[in-house]
Amino acid sequence: MSDFKRISVRGMSKRFGEKLALQDFTLDLYKGEFVTFLGPSGCGKSTALNCITGLLPISSGEIYIDDECIDDSKRKTAPEKREFGMVFQNYALFPHLTVFDNIAFGLRLRKHTRKSVIEKVESALRLVHLEGYSNKYPTQMSGGEQQRVAIARCIVLEPRLLLLDEPLSNLDAKLRVELRYELKALHERLRVTTIYVTHDQTEALALSDRIVVMRAGKIQQVGTPEEVFSDPANLFVADFMGFKNVWKGTLQSLAESPDHLDAVVGLGVTTLRASLHYPQGDARREAITAAFSSGAPVVTAIRPEDIHLRPAQGMNALPCTATLVEYQGQASQVSAGFDPSSPERNAGDRIDFRSAQRVGVGEALQLGVAPDNILLFPASDLATGGQAQERAAP
Amino acid sequence: MILLVPAIIFLVLLFLYPFAYGLYLSLTNAKGDGTFANYLRFFADPRDFRTIWTTLWIAVPITFINVGLAIPFAYYMRRGLRGEKLVTFFLIVPITLGTVLISEGMLSYMGPKGWLNQFLMAVGLVKDPVRFTHNYLGVVISLGLSGFPYAFLMLLGYISGINPDLEKASQMLGASKLQTFWKILFPLMVPGIAISFCLNFVMAFSVFPSAVLLGQPSGPTRVMAIAAYQWAFEKFNFNAASAISMVMAAIELIVITLVLVWRGRMYKGASIVGKG
């Protein structure tokens, strides 16, 4: 087992015929880190994973482990020589082999002695809580158990890098949460450097040290779960992280101070005061000041959780009428239309919020949102963020 | 249940009745009295008894060749190829043409004055025409042409049904392409190999038209089917002919049993491939 400090991917691109599936992908992974590639289907996250494993040849760029180049788009170390482990969405257990033989597969290829194979397989089975499953065949087990065997099959080889390609997507909701806890515990314990691919932001936030948000083959933002969740770099990331209230408007005034911007946005029916924590040097700050000086439209991004049924002091008022109420147990998901609706307003604009209190359809509401809870992005983000709009709510 | 009746009637009329009648014929003489004489005669007559080995000597090697060639072909075409449709078309043509047309074609194409021999002599590979027809080789070649497509198409279906992630998983665990083939793909193909071996063997073992047209029906390629035909339609002894076909059926059953035993030893896992 060769030790290392860092895996660096530099300017990696992947082309399928005319289509550029992955563009200028650059990322440093540090030993022991848990990094998640997050994005909607078709964003290139699985392509990036397969390129790093070497299963897909890369079109340009380089991959290094410390100073050792394992792929420079011309010459590459074969996938079987990289000492990486991979877990697949469909488990990919060998159906003709028992659980024991599945886990022993890699050890036997590495010519371990009989005794060491037995010891290692048994300790791997203990690690994933499957003692006593040695002689079962994959088809005799549930999906969750099969995926745990697949994980054991990888970690028994102590890989330099563990790659998981949507490992929980084939499981039902309850098992998914259970296995997610187990993955977390396993990583806390073994500290295997891990890349995890998913389209589920809950999984990404729960598991990762860092998240790489991707769209259309490009990295949108790299950051800790907290950074990505509360400080999204653009409208796409914001939308993916649940900022569902995206309303078009124009900047009426903008006051600059070193670490934030105070804006007033006209929505047609009402105006909003927004306090933006965009420090100097932030690309978002430049985009908003540019939009103000050119008079270009902007869009809001507000979480449903930040819109309140009973506005407190200092909040923006949102007069509206409830149009749709979805009961979801502890709270209801409510959609509302602005009052009074006016022809210049985009008919698609609606207010999404959550309410613990029962709200009736047609009820007139006076909602409120704090200036601190509003993000603004240039409306030109909408065009490139179109894909995000199509994405079904999680 | 009532929906099964037509199928049962069909099976009884077309399969069970002829088989039972043949068995009855083989165990009686011309007058209808019960006797083992037909079988005793077959095993006592060296000229007839020898047909077992003659037939096996044709059927077994060509079955191995057909299935053995089909495995690498199916392996390389498992993910599809450019021009795959064309390849498949050329493979299916021999199936649709039928044995007689293939034999006729081979007689002229591979005959002493045929294109193949002219080409071989022009290139200088051989001095005198090679005898491809009217011998053992001719029968074997024709069985290859008609049997290989079946074996190939069946194995292609099998191997392309194997979850492609299994190969990736094996590779990521450190296996080379060759190790992946022998440890993962081959064992998963065993059921398909067994079935296509059985079908190919049965087809080759009951060879008749090409053994007559392309072989030497009086000697080296006097297969069991020819012997049975001669007893039935030259000597008009249907009892003796039936006995020979019963022996044929018995040998086919023995071979199929052997293959299935091999399959059982090789493949102990679940029979469902794909979902993993």
pLDDT recorded at residue B5: 92
CATH 3.50.50.60 fits B37-275, yes or no: no
Question: Which member of A86, A93, A94 has the closest CB to residue B172?
Answer: A86
Nearest Cβ partner of A92 from B169, B176, B270? Answer: B169
| pLDDT at B126 (0 to 100) | 87
Cβ of A92 within 8 Å of Cβ of B176? The answer is: no
> pLDDT tens digit string along B30-45?
888 989 999 999 999 9
Q: How far is B150 from chain A (nearest CA, A)?
A: 25
Judged by a CB distance cut-off of 8 A, whether residue B273 touches chain A is yes
CA A197 to chain centroid, in Å, comes to 8
Give the distance from residue A145's alpha carbon to the nearest chain B alpha carbon, in angstroms: 13
In the β-sheet with A218-223, what is the strand arrangement from edge to edge?
Answer: A84-87, A161-165, A194-198, A34-38, A210-215, A218-223
Which of A91, A95, A106 is nearest residue B273 as measured by Cβ atoms?
A: A95
With residues binned 3-state (H G I as helix, E B as strand, rest as coil), the percentages for chain B, rounded to 5, are: 75, 0, 25
Amino acid at B152: F
Subunit contact A92:B267, Cβ cutoff 8 A: no
Strand ranges for chain B from DSSP E: none
Helix (H) or strand (E) holding B91: helix B84-97
Sign for the CA dihedral angle at A232, A237, A241, A246 comes to positive
Nearest-CA distance from A393 to chain B in Å?
A: 29
Residue B193 CA, chain-centre distance (Å), reads: 13
**Smallest CA–CA distance from B168 into chain A, residue:** A55
Average pLDDT, integer, range B145-172: 92
Identify all chain B residues contacting A154, using CB atoms and an 8 Å cutoff: 172-173
Cα Rg for chain B, rounded, in angstroms?
22
**pLDDT on residue B133:** 87
pLDDT of amino acid A394:
35
Alpha helix stretches (DSSP H) within chain A: 45-53, 99-109, 114-127, 143-155, 173-190, 201-207, 225-230, 235-240, 283-294, 380-384, 386-390
Nearest to A157 among B169, B173, B269 (CB): B173
Judge contact between A211 and A225, C-beta under 8 A.
Answer: yes
- Print pLDDT tens along chain A (394 aa): 468 899 999 999 999 988 899 999 999 999 999 999 999 998 999 999 999 999 999 999 999 999 899 999 888 999 999 999 999 999 999 999 999 999 999 999 999 999 999 999 999 999 999 999 999 999 999 999 999 999 999 999 999 999 999 999 999 999 999 999 999 999 999 999 999 999 999 999 999 999 999 999 999 999 999 999 999 999 999 999 999 999 989 999 999 988 889 999 988 778 899 999 999 889 999 999 999 999 999 999 999 999 999 888 899 998 888 989 999 888 899 999 887 665 555 555 789 999 988 889 989 999 999 999 999 999 888 876 444 433 333 3
Predicted pLDDT of residue B98: 81
Residue B9 has pLDDT above 80, yes or no: yes
CB atoms closer than 10 angstroms to residue A223: 18
* Chain A residues in contact with B268 (beta carbon < 8 A): 96
Q: What's the rounded Cα separation, in Å, for the pair A317 and A24?
A: 44
**What is the residue-wise DSSP string for B179-245?**
HHIIIIIHHHHHHHHHHHHHHHHHHHHT--HHHHHTS-TTTTT--HHHHHHHHHHTS--HHHHHHHH
Residues B174, A86: C-beta atoms closer than 8 Å = no
All residues of chain B having their beta carbon less than 8 Å from the beta carbon of residue A81 are 174
Confidence tier at B275 by pLDDT (50, 70, 90): very low
| Residue B128 reports pLDDT greater than 80 | yes
Q: CA Rg, chain A, in Å?
A: 25
Task: Kindly tell me if the per-residue pLDDT of B260 is higher than 60.
Answer: yes
Taking the Cβ of residue A364 and every Cβ of chain B, the question of whether any pair is shorter than 8 Å is answered with no
Question: Comparing A170-184, B105-119, B260-274, which segment has the lowest mean pLDDT?
Answer: B260-274
Question: Any bridge partners for residue A76, and if so which?
Answer: A71
Query: Chain-wide mean pLDDT for chain B?
Result: 90
Q: In this complex, do A94 and B184 lie within 8 Å of one another by their Cβ atoms? A: yes
Domain ranges of chain B: 37-275
The pLDDT of residue A195 is 97
Cβ of residue A177 closer than 8 Å to a chain B Cβ: no
CB within 8 Å of chain B, chain A residues 90-129: 90-97, 105-106, 109-110
Is residue B196 pLDDT above 80, yes or no? Answer: yes
Q: How far apart are CA A151 and CA A137, in angstroms?
A: 16
Number of DSSP helices (H) and strands (E) in chain A, helices first: 11, 20
Q: Which residues numbered 153-212 in B keep a CB inside 8 Å of some CB on A? A: 163, 165-166, 168-176, 179, 183-184, 187-188
Mean pLDDT of B114-134: 89
3-state secondary structure of A136: coil
| Best residue in B173, B183, B193 for a mutation probing chain A (most A CBs within 10 Å) | B173
B32 touches A: beta carbon within 8 Å = no
B269: pLDDT strictly greater than 70: no
Are the Cβ atoms of A109 and B187 closer than 8 angstroms? no
User: How far apart (Å, rounded) are the C-alpha atoms in residues A273 and A254?
Assistant: 10
Query: What does the pLDDT read at residue A389?
Result: 38
Which of B185, B87, B69, B193 has its CA nearest to residue A95?
B185
Are residues B170 and A105, on separate chains, in Cβ contact within 8 Å? yes
Task: Enumerate the residues of chain A whose CB falls inside 8 A of the CB of residue B275.
Answer: 90
Interface size between A and B, measured as CB pairs under 8 A: 81
Q: Do B169 and A88 touch (CB under 8 A)?
A: yes
- Would you call A55 an interface residue with chain B, using a CB distance cutoff of 8 Å? yes
Q: Which residue has the higher pLDDT, B46 or A388?
A: B46
**How high is the pLDDT of residue A391?**
37
Contact A110 B174 (CB under 8 A): yes
Residues of A in contact with B263 (CB under 8 A): none
Task: Write down the pLDDT at residue A386.
Answer: 42
- CB A187 within 8 Å of CB A194: yes
pLDDT of amino acid A348 = 58
